[in-house]
Structure 1
Amino acid sequence: MEKQSVFTNFKKISLFGGILLIIFLAGCSGNSSSESTGWFNHFFVDSFSTLIKSIAVFFHDNYGLSIIIITVLIRIVIMPFMIKQTKNSMQMQDKMKILKPEMEEIQAKYKDKKDPESQRKLQLEMMQLYQKYNFNPLASFSGCLPMLIQLPFLIGFYYAIRQTPEIATHSFLWFNLGETDFIMVAIAVLVYFIQYKVSQIGLDPKMKKQMALIGLISPIMIGIISLNTLAALPLYWTVGGAIVIIQTLISKRIYLAHKRQQEE
């Protein structure tokens, strides 16, 4: 059986973590209350709710536009961290492409040797290989930092949308923000599917195949949740997803351009 790299496993963990976050938000939303207490509710949820209403009033009670503006602002704030994550991810991919042939040779060499001494030699040769190419497998987990930084903002804004009753009494474009809209659901699913496809750009074909199933779960979950909630949430997810797509494309283009300059 082919062994998977640390980088592949990390990508799976990241995607799975994002899916669990979606499930968590959907599952806990039924227990949320605008009267709930706690530091998180006070500093994040209540603050975002006040900001939503303030911006909406400024734009003549346009709560849809308010959600879009705040979503864009949040993404701008965390953008430097996400760009760094994309850059680190692509660097890891490039190094893994160089390492892979020699790594597979070492793994094949000790494939049928399970004794402690052989396993020790396997680990030693792998460490020497990492040192040869200045590769740190634990660096993959540095991508957790952007995720941890953005979670309080994204979760806080999510609950603020749910706990701001004024949103449900207004419309935006063709739909009512407080009702389920099938067109908005379809758009959100499409955006998350495109986001998944964009994240696959530059990946090794084998890695793409390994990530295919779990990568498709995210848009499916977004669709299921959006069918059972107010249209303001898929609007929020659509705008956020579209920004991530643009940001990922720009980050990868910048990285590839810089890489070509170094090779010349």
Structure 2
Amino acid sequence: MKKKKNWLLVLSMLALVFVLTGCGTGTVDSSSTGLWDRYIVYYFGEAIKALSFGNAGIGIILFTIIIRILLMPLMHYQTKSMRKTQEMQPKLKALQEKYASKDAETVRKLQEEQQRLYSEHGVNPVSGCLPLLVQMPIMMALWQAISRVPELTQGTFLWLELGKIDPTYILPILAAVFTFISTKLTSMGQLEVQGSMKMMNYIMPAMILFMGIKLASGLSLYWVISNGFQVIQTLLINNPFKIRREREAEQKKKSDLEKALRKANNPKKKK
């Protein structure tokens, strides 16, 4: 299940590259028609302009922070679901060993037992994909606004022309670095990191870097702020270092209890 979700993530990001580079042409303004152009891209552009205070880059930064704040409940739900899934791993492994055969009937029973286990623990196995599914249309609309709303297309921020790629590649590199730190912190908080998760720690930053050097620098600015916010949020709310300390303390307590029980059950013989 987890491998399928990871590959779904990769395929979704690849699809996003093609969609961003191919959809929508022409200027978007109040006279535009269609649901996407008139009511999504246009109002994204208007929201960014309202937050710009004379600089489109500031508008993108503030817009990104607001989006991340609005997404915090969803991200918190994802984090809680991931932790519950990690706690279920021993039981899931036991089921996989019990139904190790690959025939259709055994596979069906395994899937039924896994679904029952998820239901008992209140875990949605696809919840990890929700933040991505929510953010994808946001990124698409943001890129379209930057590329098609004149005030944003011609906007500047520091050394950047927001409607064009970053010629120094500084922002794409920063976006990739923050993405790596974010995914690394997330994996550190898990009980067991599978090979597919380790692979994603490198695939995601690489894809962000690739898109960053191909698309408008305004989108890279969004990724830098968004993933930087995610790093801070993880350290404050789901700090993997704190989680590890708590697990180590719990394991030590459990080990001490087991030693005490063994000692009580096997007293030394009196001479």
Identify the TM-score tier after normalising by the shorter chain: 0.7 to 0.9
Q: Structure 1 stretch 184-193 or stretch 125-134: which is displaced more?
A: 125-134
User: Given the alignment of the two structures, is residue 245 of structure 1 paired with residue 245 of structure 2, yes or no?
Assistant: no
CA distance in 2, matches of 1:238, 1:33: 27
Against the structure 1 CA distance between its residues 95 and 177, is the aligned structure 2 distance closer, same or farther, given a 3 Å change threshold? same
Against the structure 1 CA distance between its residues 198 and 132, is the aligned structure 2 distance closer, same or farther, given a 3 Å change threshold? closer
- Kindly state the Cα deviation for residue 193 of structure 1 after the two structures are TM-superposed: 1.8
Residue 24 of structure 1 corresponds to 18
CA distance in 2, matches of 1:196, 1:43: 33
Is the contact between residue 163 and residue 218 of structure 2 (CA under 8 Å) also seen in structure 1? yes
Residue 138 of structure 2 corresponds to 153
What are the ranges of 5 or more consecutive residues in structure 1 without an aligned counterpart?
1-5
Q: Give the letter aligned to residue 223 of structure 2.
A: W
Is the contact between residue 84 and residue 123 of structure 2 (CA under 8 Å) also seen in structure 1? no
What are the ranges of 5 or more consecutive residues in structure 2 without an aligned counterpart?
254-271
CA distance in 2, matches of 1:242, 1:155: 20
- Kindly state the Cα deviation for residue 40 of structure 1 after the two structures are TM-superposed: 2.1
User: Given the alignment of the two structures, is residue 74 of structure 1 paired with residue 67 of structure 2, yes or no?
Assistant: yes
2:4 pairs with one of 5, 9, 12: 9
User: Given the alignment of the two structures, is residue 45 of structure 1 paired with residue 41 of structure 2, yes or no?
Assistant: yes
Aligned residues: 242
Is the contact between residue 87 and residue 251 of structure 1 (CA under 8 Å) also seen in structure 2? no
Against the structure 1 CA distance between its residues 41 and 122, is the aligned structure 2 distance closer, same or farther, given a 3 Å change threshold? closer
Is the contact between residue 153 and residue 163 of structure 2 (CA under 8 Å) also seen in structure 1? yes
Is the contact between residue 22 and residue 221 of structure 1 (CA under 8 Å) also seen in structure 2? no
Against the structure 1 CA distance between its residues 91 and 176, is the aligned structure 2 distance closer, same or farther, given a 3 Å change threshold? same
Is the contact between residue 178 and residue 231 of structure 1 (CA under 8 Å) also seen in structure 2? yes
- Kindly state the Cα deviation for residue 25 of structure 1 after the two structures are TM-superposed: 3.8
Against the structure 1 CA distance between its residues 240 and 127, is the aligned structure 2 distance closer, same or farther, given a 3 Å change threshold? same
CA distance in 1, matches of 2:192, 2:179: 21
**Residues 135-181 of structure 1 deviation map (CA, whole Å, 9 limit, x = unaligned):** 57982024444444444333222211221232343432343434423
**Residues 103-142 of structure 1 deviation map (CA, whole Å, 9 limit, x = unaligned):** 343144x46xx4xxxx536654775577578657982024
CA distance in 2, matches of 1:218, 1:236: 16
Against the structure 1 CA distance between its residues 225 and 55, is the aligned structure 2 distance closer, same or farther, given a 3 Å change threshold? same
Q: Give the letter aligned to residue 237 of structure 1.
A: W
Residue 64 of structure 1 corresponds to 57
Is the contact between residue 19 and residue 217 of structure 1 (CA under 8 Å) also seen in structure 2? no
Against the structure 1 CA distance between its residues 204 and 19, is the aligned structure 2 distance closer, same or farther, given a 3 Å change threshold? farther
Is the contact between residue 55 and residue 66 of structure 1 (CA under 8 Å) also seen in structure 2? yes
Identity of aligned residues (%): 29
Q: Give the letter aligned to residue 72 of structure 2.
A: M
Against the structure 1 CA distance between its residues 194 and 16, is the aligned structure 2 distance closer, same or farther, given a 3 Å change threshold? same
Is the contact between residue 5 and residue 129 of structure 2 (CA under 8 Å) also seen in structure 1? no
* Structure ranking higher on relative contact order (CA contacts 8 Å, 6+ apart): 1
After the TM superposition, which residues 67-216 of structure 1 pair with which residues of structure 2 at under 5 Å, given as runs? Answer: 67-100=60-93, 102-108=94-100, 110=101, 114=103, 120=105, 123-124=108-109, 127=112, 131=116, 135=120, 139-179=124-164, 180=166, 181-203=168-190, 205=192, 207=194, 209-216=195-202
Residue 3 of structure 1 corresponds to none
- Kindly state the Cα deviation for residue 239 of structure 1 after the two structures are TM-superposed: 0.7
**CA RMSD of the aligned region, Å?**
3.4
- Kindly state the Cα deviation for residue 72 of structure 1 after the two structures are TM-superposed: 0.7
CA distance in 2, matches of 1:129, 1:169: 53
Larger radius of gyration: 2
TM-score (norm 2): 0.73
